[in-house]
Amino acid sequence: MTKRTTLPKQRADETRRLIIRSAEKVFGREGYGEASVDDILEEAGISRGAFYHHFANKQEVFRGLLNDHIKDELDELDLAAPGVSLPELVKRFVGFQVGHLASEHQSGALSLEFWAYAGREEWAREAVASFHLRIRQGIAKALRSGQESGAVRPDVDVEGSAILLLAIFEGIAVLKALDPSGIRLEKLAKPWVEIIERFVGGDGPGRGDDEWDA
């Protein structure tokens, strides 16, 4: 029997989502270091009590924001259902990533803020590292499912491949943040798909395996 969501619980969830969305806008606009709880309250149009009902401080909002991104990405990355072909899987994966980079809420400034604080603060480094670990696990899960269906080569190292595929995304995100007008995402989708298909698809082993075997 499905548990029914009560009206107070629904309103509380809506308030939490409002705080997260507002914090995302404020962090992207002001920078995490300069942003304050008061800025988030003003953006969200809520009381201080409503904020502290959900989050103890700005750091917790940061973690909540990352966790929400994790959930969104993992929901989209769980694509390797039985029977899904490699081309379809890769196109859906790249399509989501391109859309994610292009979306308004995924601002380059905010991404750079996350990276900057992860390099200086232990709590931020742990949060960002956890985020990337779970995304890599999601990609690896999709690759394993592809191996089971025969779409992905059986000799592909799914853990190492997951790191490399995530690195492509993060690298594009940094370039896009530094040069928003120069990085045209619509021009990257096709070669991105081709690179992944050639990397993990096909029946035979990848070229250069003997050279790099441990």
This prediction has a pTM of 0.70
SS3 119: helix
Single out the residue of 87, 85, 105, 77 nearest to residue 165, CA to CA: 77
Q: What is the pLDDT along the chain (214 residues), one digit of tens a residue?
A: 455 668 778 888 999 999 999 998 898 888 888 899 999 999 999 999 999 999 999 989 988 887 787 677 666 665 545 556 777 778 877 887 888 777 754 556 677 777 787 888 887 788 788 888 888 888 888 888 888 888 889 999 999 999 999 899 888 888 888 888 888 888 888 999 999 988 888 554 444 444 334 3
The count of other CB atoms within 10 Å of the CB of residue 145 is 19
* In the chain, where the domains are located: 8-56, 58-202
Out of 1.10.357.10, 3.90.1580.10, 1.10.150.120, 3.40.50.1820, select the CATH number for domain 58-202: 1.10.357.10
d(CA 102, CA 105): 9
Out of 1.10.10.60, 1.10.150.80, 2.40.50.140, 3.50.50.60, select the CATH number for domain 8-56: 1.10.10.60
